[in-house]
Amino acid sequence: MPRGKIPEKVEKRIEKLREDIRYHDYLYYVLNQPEISDEKYDRLLKELKNLEEKYPETVIPSSPTQRVGGQPLLGFPDVIHDPPMLSLDNTYDKEELLGFENKALRILGEGELEWVVEQKIDGVAVALTYENGFFMQGSTRGDGVVGDDITRNLKTIKSIPLCLLKDSRKYPYLEVRGEVFMPTRSFLSINKEREEKGEVPFANPRNATAGTLKQLDSTVVAERNLDIFIHSYSSAPESIKTHREALDFLKGIGFKVSPLREVVKGVSGAMSLIEEWSERRNKLNYQIDGLVLKINDLTTRKKLGATSRSPRWAVAYKYPAEKKKTKLKEIRISIGRTGIATPIALLEPVFISGTTVSRASLFNPDEIERKDIRVGDTIIVEKGGEIIPHIVGIVTEERDRNSKRYIFPRRCPVCGEKLIRPEGEVDFRCINLQCSAQIKGRILHFGSRNGMNIEGLGYVLVDQLVSNNIIADYADIYFLKKDDIVSLERMGGKSAENLLSEIEKSKRQSLERLIYSLGIPFVGAYNAKLLSNNFVSIDELMKVDKERLIEVEGIGGKTASAIIGFFSNKKNLEVIQKLRRAGVRMGGKEISKKRDLPFKDKRFVLTGTLKGYTRDEAKELIERLGGRVTGSVSKKTDWVVMGKDPGTKLDEAKKFGVTIIDEEEFKRLMKQK
C-alpha cells in the first residue's frame, strides 16, 4: 500500500505509541523508576505491533518493536574508530595516582584540578553513533582502531536508546562510548542453566558479555539481559564545558550513564571514594574492578591530550585482586589435547568478586611441590583479572597433622599409559595419541570459538561422541548423521539439527581458522594468521619446506619443524584428506580474509618521521586495513608515505614514479577507506 493510504489517525497513533514506549523504556531501563505496570506497557507494545503488522510500510528501524530479529549474520563487518578507542593508564597504588596528577599539573602549569570519579566497569567497551537522534551503528573496541559492527546485537539492549529523547534530534551526529556488561545475577543464572544443559559455563561476567556480543544471531543476545553504562563521548555540544555536565546531558537525552560521577578537588579528594567503594563494590549487581578519575574541565583535557595509548587526563585506580580462604578437596589431573597433564585443585566453593570459585589452577607438578600443597589443606585463593583463579598460599596452622605430601601420578588417569616428563620440561605428558582425553581435546579445539567456531560442540557432547565410538577425530564430525546425535543424552531433534547446520556452516571457515583448528604444535591464533597471510591453501602449506616457512617473519625454527612434522604424519594426512572429502574449504585465494579490506594488495613504503604515529603504529594500521609495508621501493610500490626528514627512499620513489604522499594525505587516504 502506498504511504499515502495510511490513515493519518493511524500514523499519529503509531508515532504516539513509539514515543510513549520510548519514554517508558527510559524510565524503566535507564532511570529505574517505572511509572506504569508491566501489563500496561505490554498493552502499548502489543498495540504498536498490531498496527505495524497491519501497515508494514510504517515500520522503521528505530521502532521499539525492532530490537530483535532478522536472519543470523554470517560475520561482522569492520568499523574503523576515529578517533581510536584508547585505553586507560592504570595503577594499583594510591601514591602513583598523585604522581599522575602532578604530571598533568606540570604540563598545565596550574594549581588545582577538578576530577570526576566514576566506577570502572568490568565489561566490554563499545562505541555507539547517532545521526539526527537515531541509533545508526554500534561497534566493539576491537584493537582500538578496527572493531566489529555489532549494531544488531546492541539494538537488543533495552538501555540503549534507538531514538534519543525529543529535543536531541537537534544533534546531527553524536558518538558515545561505554561499557556493556552482564549483571551478576543474570550471569549466575545463565551459567546455572548452561551447566544444567551440559554446556561449558562462562568464566566470569565479562567473558559472558564478550561471548554474547560475538553471537551472530541477535535473538540469542536478546535473551542474555545485557546492559550498558555510557562513560565517554567523542563529540558533545559546544555549550558543554565539563565532563560532569556532559554525562548529565547524555542522561537527559536517554542514555544510561556512569552511575557514580562525583566531582572532587584534586586526586587527594578521591581517596575516600576509593576506600568507600573497595567494599561497596561487592554489593553491586555488576562487576567493577576499580574507579576512573577524569579531569572535569573539557578545555583542560584538550590541553593535556593523549599518548598513542591513553589520555593524559584520565587514570584508573584498580582494586587489588580479591582473596578468600577455602579448602582444597581434591587434586585432579586433566589431560589436554597435546597430552600435557595439568593438575587442577578442586575447592570447597567460595564466592569471590562476583563469581563462585570451585577450581583453581595448580600449573604444574613443580608448583605443587614448591608450595607443598596438600589435599585437605586450607588455602588462600585469589581471583585477579585472569580467568582461572590461583592459589596464593596455604594456611599451614590449619593443616591436618596426618596430611601427606602430594605425589604426582605416574600414569595417565584417562588411558592408563605411563606419563613421561621429557628432559628439561616441567610438565608430564601422556604420549598416547589415541588417549581419549587427547582425542576429545583436539576435537574441542577444532570446533572452538577461535577455530571452526562450531556452536554447540561442547565438552558434554564431544565426550559422548568419542566415548560411544561415534567419532574418533575431528574430520569425523562432518560425517555425523542426525540419528547419531539424537541417540545421545540431552540431545533432541532440534538441537541435533542446529548442531548439524553449525557443522555445515563451518565448512566455509577461513584458511586462518582452519590452520588454527588443525592443532599443529606451536601454531596458535597468531601463527595461523601469519601462515594464512603467506600461503593460499592447506595444500601449499603442506608442500613448503622448512626454509620457506622460516622466511615468514614471525615463524621460528621450532614452529617450522612442528609444521613439517605435522604434515609428515600419515594419520594427520588421512584426517586432512577426510576433511577435504567432507567439503571443508582448504583455502584458495578467493577466501583470503583480506578480500574485503580497503588496502588489499597495496604496498606502502614509509620514510622519515611521522608526527602522529610511530613506525610500528603506522605499519600496524596499514596491515590492519589489508596493506603491506615493505622496506624498499620498487615499481610494485603503490604509495610512499613521507614524514619529516625523509631518506633515500624518496629518490627511489621518484625514480620509479611511485605516488608520494605526506602524513596529512595518508590520514585522508585512511579516512576515505
Q: Which residues bind ligand IVH (CB under 6 A)?
A: 86-88, 118, 120-121, 125, 179, 231-232, 258, 292, 311, 314, 316
Pairing of strands 419-420, 429-430: antiparallel
CB of 305 to ligand IVH, least distance (A): 11
Q: Which residue is nearest to ligand IVH (CB)?
A: 125
Residues 226, 231, 233: CA angle, nearest 5 degrees: 115
Give 249's contacts (C-beta < 8 A, 6+ positions apart): 236, 237, 240
Q: Shortest Cβ distance from residue 138 to ligand IVH (Å)?
A: 14
Decide whether 115 or 516 has the Cβ nearer to ligand IVH: 115
**DSSP of 357-404:** EEEEE--SHHHHHHHT--TT-EEEEEE-SSSS-EEEEE-GGG--TT--
* Minimum CB distance to ligand IVH, residue 477 (Å): 37
Q: Which residues, 6 or more positions from 470, have their beta carbon under 8 angstroms from its beta carbon?
A: 464, 476, 480, 484
DSSP for residue 499: H
Residue with Cβ nearer ligand IVH (153 or 364) = 153
Q: How far is the CB of 316 from ligand IVH (least distance, A)?
A: 6
Helix (H) or strand (E) holding 289: strand 288-295
Least CB distance from residue 318 to ligand IVH, whole Å?
A: 9
Q: How far is the CB of 663 from ligand IVH (least distance, A)?
A: 23
User: Is 120 known to be catalytic?
Assistant: yes
With the CA atoms of 580, 581, 583 and 588 taken in that order, what torsion angle do they form, in degrees rounded to the nearest 10? 30
From residue 642, alpha-carbon distances to 598, 605, 656 in Å are: 21, 9, 15
Nearer to ligand IVH, 316 or 461 (CB): 316
Catalytic residue among 49, 120, 302, 673: 120
- Among residues 174 and 461, whose Cβ is nearest to ligand IVH? 174
Measure the CA–CA gap between 173 and 157, rounded to whole angstroms.
21
What number of other Cβ atoms are within 10 A of residue 108's Cβ? 15
Place of cell 548423521: 481
**Residue type present at position 245:** E
Rounded-to-integer distance, Cα 402 and Cα 385, Å:
36
Grid cell of 598 as nine digits: 580497503
Nearer to ligand IVH, 79 or 591 (CB): 79
Give the closest residue to 17 by CA, choosing from 55, 46, 38.
46
Nearest approach, Cβ of residue 314 and ligand IVH (Å): 6
Cβ closest to ligand IVH, residue 64 vs residue 123: 123
Cα separation of the two ends of the chain:
39
Looking at the Cβ atoms of 264 and 555, the one nearer to ligand IVH is 264
Instruction: Just list the catalytic residues.
Output: 120
